[in-house]
Copies of this chain bind each other. A is one copy, B any other.
Amino acid sequence: MELGFIGLGAMGEPMARNLIKAGHTVRVYNRTRSRAEALATQGAAVAETPQAACAGGIVATMLSDDAALEGVVFGEHGVLAGLPRGGVHIAHSTISVNLSRRLTDAHQQRGQLFIAAPVFGRPEAAQAARLVVVAAGAAEAMERCRPVLEAVGRKLFVVGADAPAANTVKLSGNFLIASMLEALGESFALLRKSGVDPAAFLEIVGAFFQSPVYDNYGRIVAEQRYDPAGFKLRLGLKDLRLMIAAAEEAGAPLPIASLVRDNLVSGIAQGLGDLDWSAVARVAALKAGLKT
């Protein structure tokens, strides 16, 4: 298939690369042009504007936040202007439910189609095409884009025709991860203050939960390996904000999200903003009077 890809950051770059590997013809656009050029050596065509990346009728975007995606879509020479009638915009970014709804409407008004397709997984998973993709949008668009959605991940879940549903699911999933990180952080602080070896606890947690996610994050927390960051704490704060906004709009409080949010604010205030967001565990340790 012929498609565009906009946003070549730590996640977007390997995703675009995997689309090329899967045999698709990809026009890439990135604000910092050099990252696009690097992909040209893999066979990508470099687009001069977001609009130009839309020429094939399908475009995928992977940008850092609402504002960046809004800029690329609604801005001059943007996606909205670039897509033909019947064209499809696939938004992989973790964005607000609210923006997802606005994009759905804006594309519809132009006779275009919108798919929200946020992904679970870190850069390593993106590189290995091992992301979990959660997609929602009109059935017609979904069918057409399935090969594109499947090329970037190990598993594709379609959660209906209403695009914002995919974003709600993504934010809910991130919420579970954030809750787990906070719980790990609090329990490790307790164990350390009680003189219990965190490594022993980790092994037991592994035997009980049998989850690679607990194993990986548990090890990071036990070893305090927060640097370099896989996902920065200050970006985690953005995600928490999106969860809380989505929940407020839906009329459901998320008390753990509020708690984690406050701890991330505290972490940034204490200079931990550029560490991995699992350093929320360090915030818990500091509260318990530990120095690290």
Q: Which of A39-47, A138-146, A157-165 contacts B (4 or more CB under 8 A)?
A: A157-165
Of B164, B208, B269, B271, the contact of A287 (CB 8 Å cutoff): B269
Q: Once the chains are docked, how many angstroms separate the CA of A248 from the CA of B186?
A: 12
A213 x B208 contact (CB < 8 A):
yes
Q: Which of chain B's residues have a CB closer than 8 A to the CB of A266?
A: 253, 287-289
Residue in A159, A165, A183, A203 with the greatest tally of chain B CB atoms within 10 Å: A183
Q: Which of chain B's residues have a CB closer than 8 A to the CB of A284?
A: 252-253
Cβ proximity bits A104-124 to B, threshold 8 Å, 1 near / 0 not = 000000000000000010000
Helix, strand, loop or mixed for chain A's interface?
helix
A196 x B265 contact (CB < 8 A):
no
Residues of A in contact, count (CB < 8 Å): 74
A positions within 8 Å CB-CB of B: 97, 120, 132, 134, 155, 157, 159-160, 162, 164-165, 168-169, 172-173, 175-176, 179-180, 182-184, 186-187, 189-197, 200-201, 203-205, 207-214, 237, 246-248, 250-259, 261-263, 265-266, 268-271, 284, 286-289
* Chain B proximity of A285: nearest CB distance (Å): 8
B169 x A200 contact (CB < 8 A):
yes
Of B172, B204, B209, B255, the contact of A201 (CB 8 Å cutoff): B172
B187 x A165 contact (CB < 8 A):
no
A194 x B209 contact (CB < 8 A):
no
Q: Which of chain B's residues have a CB closer than 8 A to the CB of A180?
A: 176, 179-180, 183
List, sorted by A's number, 14 A–B pairs whose CB atoms are closer than 8 Å: A160-B196, A165-B196, A168-B190, A175-B183, A180-B180, A183-B256, A193-B251, A210-B210, A251-B288, A253-B265, A253-B266, A258-B261, A258-B262, A266-B288
